[in-house]
Amino acid sequence: MKSDRTEPNLTVTMSPLHLHDESLLSPSQIQTYLQDGILVVPLLSSEELLEAQRGLVTTLWKECGVDVHDLEGTGWKLTRASSTLGAGGFEMLPSVTSRGRRCAMERSGQCILLLIDCIVFGRKSVTGDGLYSGVLDIFYPAWKMKIATNEKLFRMTCQLWKEAYCHNGESFEEMMSSSVNGRDDSFKWHPFGAFDCNKGYMYIDRLGYRIPTEIAERIGQEIGENKTQTRSKKPRPIQRSLTPHFDCCPETYHDAKSKNKWRPIQCFVSLTDNLHANTGGFEAVPGFHKEFLAWTKNGRQTTSLQQNEDGKDTLKSVDGQFPSTKPHPRPCVGEYTHLHPNHDRELLQRVQHIPVQAGSAVFWDNRIPHGNAYRNNPPKLSCSTISNVDDEETSKVLGSSGSRAVVYCSFLPDVHVNRSFVKSQLTDWKLKRAPKVGNRWIKHEESNEITGEVSNTTQIEANLTDLGRRLLGLDDW
């Protein structure tokens, strides 16, 4: 369903778009999402996955100077490819005097200016630190946009919108009363009114590339040894975990007036296997979307615990009061709210690893606490652990380091606030500029700085499907 238009900047009214009618998600998969607020499903074919992996490798090299087969020598260049807020980091100096890295750069014909001129945006994080959780500010490569406009991915999202969220203008009182009849559907309510579940827009998001913790620590150690001043006795790794958090502000969740977008379902497509805990992968609290409202009304309280001398959990007193009687709301940063290791200890204890196979899509309700593993300690690869041709091909393309790679991609329902959001997002895309709205944890200077990405947006637009054009906001639904 390729577009044959030759005027890429022309927006026209198109005939109604008819997606395939068959349901992609089974009743049991729908039920899993309703119950857990999380769903993992296969998405990409082997060919599509390989194409995306090759695209990632090319993007990391051309835009960041990072060779996935030589992370020890080039991985340090990731330190300015992210502006995420959350996990800790350190400020990366614009020069590295390490003889080994300098020689590696000289051998590859590069120079230190690559760090400044060829990194995706050249911005520091909102805290002034360097890289955090492996979330990279790379938005527009053609291969990534292809995944973000995948028809199957959108149709799955449409099914979940229809089954898990009010879309006929139901009132909060109606949904609360439904729980009296033995089925609690109150979690489906939102303040954005009725919408057509078959229409929506893409939310242009970033990439995730989490290198193994041992490599991140070694690079951090080497950088720390060559810094003239250090802020801590122990150098920090260049990547750390993203602490469990919400991508929403609990106290204003049901207030439509304060929002610049509504994204009820978050999603990523994994380009690598992440089947084991402590390998940098996705972690979450299944089912919490049903507890979210009561938790918020209770001052973000669950029973906070601490271990006594016998190793048993007991209620923890805060300033002489038990947490159940003393609310402790943590501040929201835009739509980012992290969980506190003391106040939210019981909730954090419920965080669990979510296994994901390469090529799968992971959907989760935005009221689900989530993050990624504290460490990425990938299992050592050997001939015996490469079980099939696809695994062997992946190792050839992505290398054998065990880095985790995902494409963050989700959709926005066709409601008023999202229509306004998409117009601004489209302007940024056309200008190849970092998105300016949407709480992507990016610090913006007062400028129209171009991203520096090598992607040709005109060529991408010419290759978009009819659905892709609508999802991007180029054409009306």
3-state helix, strand, coil in the chain (%, to 5): 35, 15, 50
pLDDT number for residue 367: 98
More confident residue, 149 or 14: 149
The band of 22, judged by pLDDT with boundaries at 50, 70 and 90, is low
Q: Is the pLDDT of residue 217 over 90?
A: yes
Phi, psi of 324, rounded to the nearest 5 degrees: -65, -15
Mean pLDDT of 444-458: 54
Return the SS3 of 171.
Answer: coil
Q: Which of 47, 38, 45, 108 is nearest to 74 (CA)?
A: 108
Average pLDDT for residues 290-310, to the nearest whole number? 73
Closest of 463, 434, 429 to residue 448, by C-alpha: 434
The answer on pLDDT for 95 being more than 80 is: no
Where residue 305 falls among pLDDT bands split at 50, 70, 90?
A: very low
| Alpha-carbon gap, residue 241 to 237, rounded angstroms | 10
Predicted confidence at residue 395, as pLDDT, reads: 76
Question: Above 60 in pLDDT, residue 123?
Answer: no
Residue in this structure with the two tokens 């300690």, named with its chain if needed? 377
Q: What is the mean pLDDT of the chain?
A: 78
259-283 average pLDDT score: 96
pLDDT in tens, 391-423: 677 778 999 999 999 999 999 999 999 999 999
> Left (φ > 0), alpha (ψ -120 to 50) or beta: where does 359 sit?
left
Q: What is the tens place of the pLDDT at every residue in 25-43?
A: 999 999 999 999 999 999 9
Lowest-confidence region among 8-17, 60-69, 292-301, 345-354: 8-17
Cite the beta strand spans of 24-93 per DSSP E.
38-42
Residue with tokens 């950088």: 223
Average pLDDT (351-366) is 98
From first CA to last CA, the distance across the chain in angstroms is 16
Confidence of residue 456 (pLDDT cuts 50, 70, 90): low
pLDDT at 342: 83
User: pLDDT grade, residue 468 (50/70/90)?
Assistant: very high
- Examine the pLDDT at 2 and tell me if it is beyond 80: no
Residue 137 has pLDDT above 60, yes or no: yes
